[in-house]
Structure 1
Amino acid sequence: MSKFSADELLDEVYGRTGADDERVVVGPGPGEDAAGVQVGDETLVVSTDPISMAADRIGQLAVTIVTNTVAAAGGDPRYLTSTVLLPEHDTDLLGEVVGQIDETASDLDQSVVAGHSESVVGLDRPLVSMTALGRADSFVPTSGAEPGDDVVLTKAAGIEATGVLATDYREHLDGVDDDTVERARAFFDDVSIIPDAAAVRSHANAMHDPTEGGVLAGLVDLALAADVTIDVARDDVPVREETRALCEAAGVDPLRVLCSGGLLAAVPSDESDAVLAACADAGIDAAVVGTVADGDAGVSLDGERFEAPPTDEVYELLE
């Protein structure tokens, strides 16, 4: 699984969005994973996302990841639609996936209001695509980072990848004890960033939920969308013990693997302490991991330049 490049999307997608509508506040564009549509005095935030990883938790992740995107745009996700595609006509598997969707949606106070399910010839694993909708007082874009901002990461790098490796890659994790793997599987329960975004959004110039390509790809998305440079030191990026252990065993970089569960936010430097305090009050770990400056768009990680998001190393493992 791989994304189309920014140039491919620019050439083939962004100019082909149907009828113009002045109520569209934010539409398709580089780095923007959610749309904003003005409805009265509020903004309707909408996002859609497919998932085919972590087959054992696919319904749970599908709900969590798409609601994360709405939350990262400043919205309060509330309504969902689902499309469930299965490799064969397996009623038990359908019930399992939809049961996960139902349980996770209930836990996150989301309502599934429409959907579609079918089996597809040639599909080799389940595929779930969800759409989430929610209201926002103010849309927070990916593209809003400004020179002088600090970049904050909530929780840690590689949270989703840690759960995926523990679930889909367990037989290859030589040297990792069973207790560590069990703790890693529990990381799926940390993937929601709805509380993180609620704590941060009133201070943020930009927010982004890093997914494929990890924290590094998320930072590059922020930088490219705002046409700024972001300076980051690897040692400043929090990585949990379980993530380090599993990534080392799998031979992948914790900063370049699936990172749903962490929220990136660009905030004025004089407000970063307030953001960290708000996260602490909500029981959420957070750290300043970088700074925003004028310069060529991209990320400097310990002096190494990145001007395009890296490929996710978990996808390379599981192909």
Structure 2
Amino acid sequence: MVGKVDQETLARVLAGTGASSTVLGVGPGYGEDAAAIELGEQTLVISADPISLAAERIGTLGVNVACNDVAASGGDPEWLTSVLLLPGDADDAMIDAIVADLDREARSLGATIVGGHTEYVDQLERPLLSLTAIGTTDRFVPTGGADPGDRVVLTKGAGIEATAILATDFAAELDVPDDAVSAAATFFEEISVVPESRILGAHATAMHDPTEGGVLGGLVEMAHAAAVGIEVERSAIPVRAATEQLCAAAGVDPLRTFGSGALLATLPEAQVDETMAALDDADIEAAEIGRVVEREQPGIELDGERFENAPRDELYALWE
């Protein structure tokens, strides 16, 4: 089996680990992007994420998925630790490419790689990268803060990360024109959600970085974290033409696959117009896609179809 453990298994893991701390503001929980540690007037925000399957540009993905979780919690990512596990036959070219990616992406975000670990593991067929991102904020925004009546906003579009992966790792297997593949590969440059997080974080009641399981999975996690329902319409969710084209060729639903590069946020209705205008002024695409409602059983409704569990990411089938 590949991918995140199910909600019940995660609950069992979390119940069996951890220790109390008087400065822990937000700890581990289903759907939560990061932990919050209260340090006086500032909150320390910490998150960790692995990249275990994508082969190309894993440094780019690794830095951004870790920093995105800090940003989606209202923080500015400042420091990173990097754990890089390499196949036993990894050559200098592979190592140099990953290191160059890591350095370039960290610098572009103003973050510093302050430590980590690197080793060879003969049992690996591809490199495995795990980064921990650390930042600070004076307004922590949880995944689970959505209130009934809030509106749901999505930046950029669904399947941004998956589109980039398809264009690099699987291009040879897809019946897609070369120009579409080239355009889709540029989506790696849009994986960061730090800019929109800074705008949305001023008023958002909740923010979430939809990674594995895509926008649909991210919405389910937000609903469970806040114990609410979320109603959305597929037609309201932006999907770029390149994403539609590559996902169709791969047999993947853009709403159910890796979504880094987009940011989900819930906003009080009174703040939507002002916030959308600010995003537009910053040349950040965004759309209002749904609303938060009261529900006894948390979950989402997509065009009337109910989802109480996050879907398995449909891109995994291509690696199996």
Give the Å deviation of 1:15. Answer: 4.0
Contact residue 199 and residue 282 of structure 1 kept, 8 A: no
- For residue 283 of structure 1, what is the aligned residue in structure 2? 283
2:247 aligned with 1:269, yes or no? no
- For residue 80 of structure 1, what is the aligned residue in structure 2? 80
Could you tell me the percent identity over the aligned residues?
52
Give the match's secondary structure for 1:144: coil
Aligned equivalents of 2:125 and 2:32: distance in 1? Answer: 30
- For residue 209 of structure 2, what is the aligned residue in structure 1? 209
Contact residue 14 and residue 29 of structure 2 kept, 8 A: no
Worse-matched range after superposition: 53-62 or 242-251: 53-62
Give the match's secondary structure for 1:109: coil
Give the Å deviation of 1:140. Answer: 0.4
Contact residue 53 and residue 164 of structure 1 kept, 8 A: no
Give the Å deviation of 1:70. Answer: 0.1
2:38 aligned with 1:38, yes or no? yes
Worse-matched range after superposition: 5-14 or 158-167: 5-14
2:158 aligned with 1:157, yes or no? yes
- For residue 55 of structure 1, what is the aligned residue in structure 2? 55
Give the Å deviation of 1:33. Answer: 2.2
Aligned equivalents of 1:289 and 1:317: distance in 2? Answer: 29
* C-alpha distance after superposition, 1:220-279 (max 9, x if no partner): 011011111100100000000000000111111010010000000010112111111111
Give the match's secondary structure for 2:197: helix
TM-score calculated relative to the size of structure 2: 0.97
Contact residue 56 and residue 165 of structure 2 kept, 8 A: no
Give the Å deviation of 1:14. Answer: 3.6
Give the match's secondary structure for 2:57: helix
Contact residue 14 and residue 28 of structure 1 kept, 8 A: no
Give the match's secondary structure for 1:143: coil
Matching residue's letter, 2:70? V
Give the Å deviation of 1:121. Answer: 1.9
Aligned equivalents of 1:201 and 1:284: distance in 2? Answer: 14
Query: RMSD of the alignment, in Å?
Result: 1.0
Q: Deviation above 2 Å: which 4+ runs of structure 1?
A: 12-15
Matching residue's letter, 2:216? L
- For residue 122 of structure 1, what is the aligned residue in structure 2? 123
Aligned equivalents of 2:142 and 2:38: distance in 1? Answer: 14
Give the match's secondary structure for 1:300: strand
Structure 1 unaligned spans of 5+: none
Question: How many positions carry a matched residue from both structures?
Answer: 317
* C-alpha distance after superposition, 1:176-216 (max 9, x if no partner): 11001000000000000000100100110000000000000
1:99–1:264 CA distance, 2 compared to 1 (3 A):
same
Give the match's secondary structure for 2:56: helix
Matching residue's letter, 2:104? E
Matching residue's letter, 1:306? F
Give the Å deviation of 1:124. Answer: 1.0
Aligned equivalents of 2:257 and 2:91: distance in 1? Answer: 32
Aligned equivalents of 2:90 and 2:255: distance in 1? Answer: 37
Contact residue 33 and residue 72 of structure 2 kept, 8 A: no
- For residue 12 of structure 2, what is the aligned residue in structure 1? 11
Give the Å deviation of 1:88. Answer: 1.4
Matching residue's letter, 2:227? D
Contact residue 33 and residue 142 of structure 2 kept, 8 A: no
Contact residue 157 and residue 215 of structure 1 kept, 8 A: yes
* C-alpha distance after superposition, 1:2-51 (max 9, x if no partner): 1111111111224411x311100000111112000011210000000000
- For residue 234 of structure 1, what is the aligned residue in structure 2? 234
- For residue 101 of structure 2, what is the aligned residue in structure 1? 100
Aligned equivalents of 1:201 and 1:239: distance in 2? Answer: 23
2:238 aligned with 1:243, yes or no? no
Give the match's secondary structure for 1:142: coil
- For residue 315 of structure 1, what is the aligned residue in structure 2? 316
- For residue 166 of structure 1, what is the aligned residue in structure 2? 167
Contact residue 36 and residue 43 of structure 1 kept, 8 A: yes
2:196 aligned with 1:189, yes or no? no
Contact residue 173 and residue 246 of structure 1 kept, 8 A: yes
Structure 2 unaligned spans of 5+: none
Aligned equivalents of 2:46 and 2:81: distance in 1? Answer: 11
Give the Å deviation of 1:138. Answer: 1.3
1:278–1:15 CA distance, 2 compared to 1 (3 A):
farther
Give the match's secondary structure for 1:115: strand
